[in-house]
A and B are shown apart, each in its own frame.
Chain A
Amino acid sequence: MTVDHLVVVGASLAGIRAVESARKAGHTGRITLVGAEEHLPYDRPPLSKAFLEASEEAPADPRFRTEEHLRDELGVELRLGAPATGLDPKARLIALDDTEIGYDALVATTGGTARRLPGTDGIAGVHTLRTWDDAVAVRSALDAGARTVVIGAGFIGSEVASAARKRGLPATVVESLPVPLVRSVGEDMGHACAYLHRAHGTDLFCGATVLSLEQVDGRVTGVRLGDRSTVPADLVVVGIGVDPSTGWLEGSGLEVHERDHGVVADATLRCADGVYAAGDVVHFPNKLFDGEMMRLEHWTTAAEQGALAARNALDPDHATELGTVPYFWSDWYGSRIQFVGRPQADEIRVISAETGDARFLALYRRADRLVGTITIDRPTQIMKYKRLIATRASWAEALEFAGVG
């Protein structure tokens, strides 16, 4: 069947890319973009970076497009502030609170929600950082000179600590693992990240648990740790991960992943007839890594998948499969951390330790293949490694390129 009405659920990065690529692919039918937030689609990476910097002027507007552009240039019907509550793939209907919308093709781009610390809802000064509204709250706490405690030494939390230190405010990061980021980048790199925190005056407590938050009159005053010590705090940012937003898919028959309930798609990002998914919400088999299932929370993947999911949804008979090298970056304390590929490896070799270079470089090997590379402050190199991974370069080639072969 030909697609007349394309509905995109989730009005953020993957969603806007889906809309734009549908038009670019020549779709002239209706497009409806449904979003839970009141805001027009906006960009998240700046929210933990430039947005938090001290400045006289208001921070840059993170929205991708104006309402006029979406409506008039792209011909999109906007349903913002209207979360989808259900999906019936057989009848090709989605439910909103007050109505139903029929579709011919659907792209689900509902991303994820920041995990909260149990029992802390409603305490003033405690925030996650996922949305624009979150960022406004965190920024104004920093403007007020908050002593900042970040729970979880992930990338976004680390960027918040970095922003606090840049303003000269005290910052503490509390991490339950013995080494930060071991699961996402490995132990050596975790130590390198820990070093960045400490070198810039952030207190980093690893292997530490949070017992409770201390509060006075409903406002946080400190974080109590497992060893009974208390870190004073006016701002607590909880960065303990993201849960895919798939509650609205319950009962739809779509497969969700047993671990995190992300929606499961095939290599063309198809979940069911007429239903495709893209961005942080989706598990997909990555052709470039021999079909390994992955769910990524990376800007570049969300953009790429959004565009592909829409093209495939409009023309399923000619759907193409996704093969992509995951990529993310993070900016802390004026250093740029860049990662390409996959961190799960048979061996992680810290090249910079061998060559005596202060700027971190590590390569990740699976069998005989280079599968990942991480760098700190090596902007000229990272994309060359990305190409090596994309072309399935052997480990020997990678070592030679790194100058240690």
Chain B
Amino acid sequence: MSLQVVLDQDKCSGLGLCEAEAPEIFEVREDGSLAVLDETPADEHRMACEAAVAACPTEALRLIES
């Protein structure tokens, strides 16, 4: 099973709380938009990704098991 990160650009307001939880996976760009650095993170990042999803105030992030 592998993990996939899905970002809803319309909902994301670039606050970067996801980045605080999982800096290897998310980074807010200079223009305030969010870059998903790794859309299919390795399993070691699972906990951090779950924390990022929970921390997002706009519910812009989802994790899919594929």
Contact = CB atoms under 8 A, between A and B. Distances in A.
A380 B17 contact: no
Contacts of A336: 32
Interface stretch (A34-42, A108-116, A144-152, A299-307): A299-307
Interface stretch (B1-9, B20-28, B41-49): B20-28
Interface stretch (A66-74, A155-163, A237-245, A381-389): A381-389
A329 interface: yes
A379 B30 contact: yes
Interface string A356-391: 000000000000000000000001101110110010
Nearest to A43: B57
Given A303-B55, A327-B17, A329-B15, 7 more contacts: A327-B20, A379-B29, A379-B31, A380-B29, A382-B16, A383-B20, A387-B23
A230 B19 CA distance: 47
Nearest to B28: A379
Interface in A299-329: 299-300, 303-304, 307, 327, 329
In the A-B complex, the 6 residue pairs with the closest CB atoms: A383-B16, A383-B20, A383-B19, A379-B32, A379-B28, A386-B20
Q: Do most interface residues of chain B lie in helix, strand or loop, or is the interface mixed?
A: loop
Interface residues of A, number: 19
B16 A379 contact: yes
A45 interface: yes
B54 interface: yes
Contact of A307 (B14, B17, B54): B54
B20 A387 contact: yes
Given A299-B57, A303-B57, A380 B20 contact: no
A386 B23 CA distance: 11
Contacts of A382: 16
Nearest to B26: A383
B27 to A, nearest CB: 7
